[in-house]
Structure 1
């Protein structure tokens, strides 16, 4: 069972990718979501927010999940009525503070600002999940 708000395990995602957690694959994910956004004719600002938030989540996997080891990065995106749900998963060490981190720790707060909702945690299969929900239509200026 997935975290609340994530793609239901029995429902096929509109986009589903499993790639090695490497920097070059963040661009592949970004491009795939751009294609989905164009197919859905998303407002350019909403699409920009989706791509930026998912890029941040995928970059966290690349930088933090596996250390020097290799591992998978999974991305699933599904349209559910007026919302787009995107989940980024990995099998790494989880979301832990790292004093040796090269970043300033701004990725998750940025994702939270860009999304309608954000959930972080471990799935029942012990994979780390970052589940994001984006509103597909603007209401009063905010997606």
Structure 2
């Protein structure tokens, strides 16, 4: 356990109109953590994708449900959890998409988990049956003056 930890939480209705607020929340937390700008952008994109997937797939665009985004800043990393009570999914059952083909054909969709895993250092998805779905993403802290 690290010697330093700060926690933040945001609860918003499940609406795409709230994605900008979620991105602002994540950007602010990343800034407070001292996360390098390039890594802040990666975290924002990963969380945006996760929340958009919750809104569209887990909740079927039901705005009466909430999306919860929790952030924890530790000495050496930032952890973001996206929590919902909607329909879960099996990430192992998701068809692997050919990224080059999708780019060539200018197709979108089907990149959620793959993209999040590419942007973050750790990505873990867990379903607690009858309770919640939780996506936990970790980005190790790299300060502004450090290189990848």
TM-score normalised over the length of structure 1: 0.78
Paired residues for 1:45-56 under 5 Å = 45-56=38-49
Paired residues for 1:58-97 under 5 Å = 58-69=51-62, 70-95=64-89
1:71 deviates by: 0.9
Structure 1 residues 136 and 22: CA distance shift in structure 2, 3 A: same
Structure 2 partner of 1:105: 110
- Asked whether the equivalents of residues 92 and 127 of structure 1 are also in contact (C-alpha less than 8 Å), the reply is yes
Q: Which has the higher helix share?
A: 2
1:123 deviates by: 3.3
| Higher gyration radius (CA) | 2
More off after superposition, 103-112 vs 118-127: 118-127
Separation (CA, whole Å) in 1 of partners of 2:28 and 2:38 = 15
Runs of 4+ with deviation above 4 angstroms: none
- Structure 2 spans left out of the alignment, 5+ residues: 95-107
Superposition RMSD in Å:
2.6
- Structure 1 spans left out of the alignment, 5+ residues: 1-11
Structure 1 partner of 2:122: 117
Separation (CA, whole Å) in 1 of partners of 2:33 and 2:132 = 29
What CA deviation, in whole Å up to 9, does each residue of 1:69-125 have, x standing for no partner?
331100000012201000001000112579xxxx62101100000111100111376
TM-score normalised over the length of structure 2: 0.76
How many residue pairs align between the two structures? 128
